[in-house]
């Protein structure tokens, strides 16, 4: 895919990077990336993916913009309050780079539609705020053989990882699934929502931007994605930590029983 003169100028700072170059930028322009949620994590991720030149961005969200969202959901603005988040995000992306195609899905992703939605894209970013959706998205990503960048935030802390459970590690064992990392969801009511516990807005910008960075790495082949590793961020201590996790043979997706 040849880049236009306008694209060569727009993405000049990418193209001079040996790890990206013209070939990497062309991959970004050809990529189809689905973002689950246009909220705290999806908002910065969408902005940076659009700015990076992703060719097609899909947005899944069934909510409308509320005034209380604007403290952290930076893709929206005051004038968009009451508007569908998918439309608000699409309008902002079009203003940033009209060369990006935006496909809006004003719905909630469920086990009934997840495979069809995710199967239409090359890569998935999950910025949802509940375990049911995260399990749904990760299971569908496995079934459709798509890599998944998934992030989460608490009051002052956040985490992200890359799931490629349909692939194998260097030693021949399957890569871990999201269910290897979290075999079971915590009991209902034990994890408060951000409306109940509060959240610092800039934190979602940090984790959402890191999710976009992982997506750019996956698409271009630059660097080492966070496969089998969780990046943890403690904003109050200003500390990043990385911990590894492995394939659990008992997991229901690519575990030993699933292979039998």
Rounded to whole angstroms, the Cα distance separating 89 from 75 reads 6
H or E segment at 33? strand 32-36
Mean pLDDT of the chain: 95
Judged against a pLDDT cut of 60, whether residue 260 lies above it is answered with no
How much is the CA Rg of the chain, to the nearest whole Å?
18
C-beta atoms surrounding 70 within 10 Å: 16
Report yes or no: 243 and 229 within 8 Å, Cβ to Cβ. yes
Question: How far apart are the C-alpha atoms of 203 and 209, rounded to whole Å?
Answer: 10
Indicate the pLDDT class of residue 163, thresholds 50, 70 and 90.
Answer: very high
Q: Binning pLDDT at 50, 70 and 90, where does residue 85 land?
A: very high
Residue 14 has pLDDT above 80, yes or no: yes
Parallel, antiparallel or unpaired: strands 101-105 and 56-60: parallel
CB crowding 208-240: b at 16 or more within 10 Å, else e? bebbbbbbbbbbbebeebbbbbbbebebeeeee
CA nearest to 45, candidates 125, 122, 155: 125
Return the percentage of the chain with pLDDT > 70, whole number: 99
Beta strand 147-153 pairing with 157-163: antiparallel
pLDDT over 80 (residue 193): no
Mean pLDDT, range 53-73, rounded to an integer = 97
Which residues pair with residue 125 across a beta bridge?
35, 149
Of 76-85, 141-150, 221-230, 247-256, give the lowest mean pLDDT range. 247-256
82 Rama sector, left if φ>0, alpha if ψ -120 to 50, beta otherwise: left
Q: What is the CATH number of domain 15-259?
A: 3.40.50.720
Q: Report CA-CA distances (Å) from 50 to 23, 24, 111, 245.
A: 18, 15, 28, 31
Q: What is the DSSP secondary structure assignment for residue 240, as one 8-state letter? A: E
> What pLDDT, in 10s, does the model give residues 89-146?
999 999 999 999 999 999 999 999 999 999 999 999 999 989 999 999 999 999 999 9
Residue 195 — very low, low, confident or very high, per pLDDT cuts 50/70/90? confident
pLDDT for the residue 259: 57
135/83 Cα distance (integer angstroms): 28
Report the SS3 class of residue 242. strand
* Rounded Cα distance, 174 and 164, in Å: 9
Q: What pLDDT is attached to residue 67?
A: 97
Predicted local confidence at residue 194, as pLDDT: 78
- Using an 8 Å Cβ cutoff, are 169 and 175 in contact? yes
């Amino acid at each position: 895919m040849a880049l236009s003169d306008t694209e060569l100028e727009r993405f000049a700072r990418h193209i001079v990077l040996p790890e990206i170059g013209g070939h990497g930028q062309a991959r970004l322009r050809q990529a189809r990336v689905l973002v689950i949620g246009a909220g705290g994590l999806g908002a910065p991720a969408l902005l940076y993916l659009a700015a990076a030149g992703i060719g097609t961005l899909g947005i899944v969200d069934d909510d409308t913009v509320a005034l209380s969202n604007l403290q952290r959901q930076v893709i929206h603005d005051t004038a968009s309050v009451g508007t569908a988040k998918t439309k608000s995000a699409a309008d902002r992306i079009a203003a940033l780079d009209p060369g990006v195609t935006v496909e809006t899905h004003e719905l909630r992703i469920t086990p009934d539609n997840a495979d069809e939605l995710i199967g239409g894209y090359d890569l998935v970013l999950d910025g949802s705020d509940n375990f049911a959706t995260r399990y749904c998205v990760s299971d569908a990503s496995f079934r459709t053989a798509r890599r998944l960048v998934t992030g989460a935030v608490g009051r002052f802390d956040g985490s992200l990882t890359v799931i490629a459970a349909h692939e194998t590690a260097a030693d021949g064992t399957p890569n871990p699934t999201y269910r290897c990392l979290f075999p079971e969801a915590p009991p209902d009511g034990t994890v408060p929502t951000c409306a109940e516990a509060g959240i610092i807005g800039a934190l979602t910008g940090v984790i959402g931007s890191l999710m976009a960075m992982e997506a750019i790495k996956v698409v271009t082949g630059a660097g080492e994605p966070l496969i089998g590793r969780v990046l943890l961020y403690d904003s109050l201590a200003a500390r990043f930590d990385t911990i590894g996790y492995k394939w659990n043979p008992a997991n229901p997706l690519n575990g030993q029983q699933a292979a039998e």
